[in-house]
């Protein structure tokens, strides 16, 4: 007669399986992130150091360059390969120059050594600590120096950035202090296993909160009042400083506002 496992035993077995799945997911995330960073290093060092002088030159640099990162072997029948494709490297290199970010500064900020160091000195939840996932499902990775952000984007967002890049570059060049996000690189990571391919699109942007000035409030504004409130859910102690990002209705309740393009006239 076959022994039927007790419900208690089944519960234990299921718990172990879930734990293995989580560990496998964290390991996979770390590998993907490492290949993103290593790909940026390879692509940046290979980018021609060309200065764009006129608008007519832009069309000559709207190309993509592909680089092989590394290959992981799983026995004799299966292997996993990674490739990085950088879009318009010369144009983005010129954008970085506008903000005094040379190749060495860029690559040292996005360093694989820093990620490995963090992994060695931190707990097993390093991926969760270094990365955060937004409501849209995008993955955010903040560099150790806090100056740059790696953000995954959708295919449509990737294509849209390609479409607007010439006009974006011209605008940023004329208005370097613009409030628009400062995009410093656009990439596609390709993971190939046998005949199947998985593509991950991501970009590098400047972190506007990397500043020596004191930040009193941070806002995530969408121009909507639907579900755009945080303070009503938080229990703050009297005098406790707000360190989290606030939303649209919070700004309204606190009586704060932003002046954009307002001229103040003094009448005698």
In the chain, how many domains are there? 2
State residue 131's pLDDT score. 54
Alpha helices in 47-125 (DSSP H): 89-98, 103-109, 112-121
Mean pLDDT across 40-65: 94
Query: In this structure, is residue 5 part of a structural domain?
Result: no
Range from 127-136, 144-153, 158-167, 255-264 that averages highest in pLDDT: 158-167
- Mark whether 145 and 237 lie in a shared domain: no
Domain that holds residue 268: 214-268
Last residue of a domain, one of 206, 225, 253: 206
Residues near 245 by beta carbon (within 8 Å), at least 6 away in sequence: 218, 219, 220, 230
Q: Which helix (H) or strand (E) holds 190?
A: strand 183-193
pLDDT more than 70, % of the chain: 75
Using left for φ > 0, alpha for ψ between -120 and 50, and beta otherwise, residue 199 falls in beta
- Mark whether 52 and 182 lie in a shared domain: yes
- Mark whether 84 and 147 lie in a shared domain: yes
CATH number at 76 reads: 3.30.800.10
**Residue 268 to residue 266: CA distance in whole angstroms:** 7
Query: What is the band of 61 on the pLDDT scale with cuts at 50, 70, 90?
Result: very high
Dihedrals phi, psi of 197, to nearest 5 degrees: -130, 140
Last residue of a domain, one of 206, 226, 251: 206
Specify the higher pLDDT residue, 84 or 18: 84
Query: What is the band of 162 on the pLDDT scale with cuts at 50, 70, 90?
Result: very high
Mind listing the pLDDT tens digit for each residue in 164-187? 999 999 999 999 999 899 999 999
**Residue 198 to residue 230: CA distance in whole angstroms:** 36
Mean pLDDT across 139-143: 82
Mean pLDDT across 240-249: 83
- Structural tokens at position 25: 């997911």
| Residue of 151, 168, 184 whose CA lies nearest to 47 | 184
- Cα torsion at 42, 44, 49, 55 (round to 10°)? 130
Asked if 168 and 183 count as a contact pair (C-beta separation under 8 A), the reply is: yes
Query: What is the band of 15 on the pLDDT scale with cuts at 50, 70, 90?
Result: very low
- Mark whether 30 and 136 lie in a shared domain: yes
| Residue of 138, 45, 38, 53 whose CA lies nearest to 84 | 38
Lowest-confidence region among 33-42, 54-63, 124-133, 196-205: 124-133
pLDDT of 199 higher than 60: yes
Residues near 193 by beta carbon (within 8 Å), at least 6 away in sequence: 78, 79, 80, 81
**Residue 105 to residue 154: CA distance in whole angstroms:** 27
């Amino acid at each position: 007669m076959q022994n039927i496992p007790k419900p208690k035993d089944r519960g234990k077995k299921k718990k172990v399986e879930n734990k293995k799945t989580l560990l496998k997911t964290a390991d996979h995330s770390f590998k993907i992130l490492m290949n993103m960073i290593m790909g940026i290093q390879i692509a940046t060092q290979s980018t021609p150091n060309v200065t764009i002088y006129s608008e007519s030159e832009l069309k000559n640099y709207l190309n993509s360059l592909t680089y092989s990162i590394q290959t992981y072997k799983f026995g004799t029948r299966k292997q996993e390969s990674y490739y990085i494709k950088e879009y318009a490297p010369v144009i983005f290199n010129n954008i970085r120059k506008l903000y005094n970010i040379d190749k060495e500064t860029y690559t040292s900020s996005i360093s694989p050594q820093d990620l490995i160091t963090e992994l060695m000195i931190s707990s097993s939840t390093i991926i969760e600590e270094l990365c955060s996932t937004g409501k849209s499902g995008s993955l955010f990775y903040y560099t150790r120096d806090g100056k740059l952000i790696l953000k995954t984007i959708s295919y449509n967002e990737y294509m849209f950035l390609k479409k607007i890049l010439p006009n974006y570059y011209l605008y940023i060049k004329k208005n370097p202090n613009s409030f628009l996000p400062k995009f410093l690189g656009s990439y596609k990571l390709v993971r190939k296993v046998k005949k199947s391919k998985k593509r991950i699109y991501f970009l590098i942007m400047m972190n506007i909160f990397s500043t020596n000035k004191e930040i009193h409030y941070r806002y995530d504004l969408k121009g909507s009042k639907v579900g755009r409130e945080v303070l009503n859910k938080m229990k703050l102690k009297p005098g406790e400083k707000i360190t989290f990002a606030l939303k649209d209705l919070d700004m309204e309740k606190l009586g704060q506002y932003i002046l954009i393009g307002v001229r103040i006239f003094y009448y005698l």
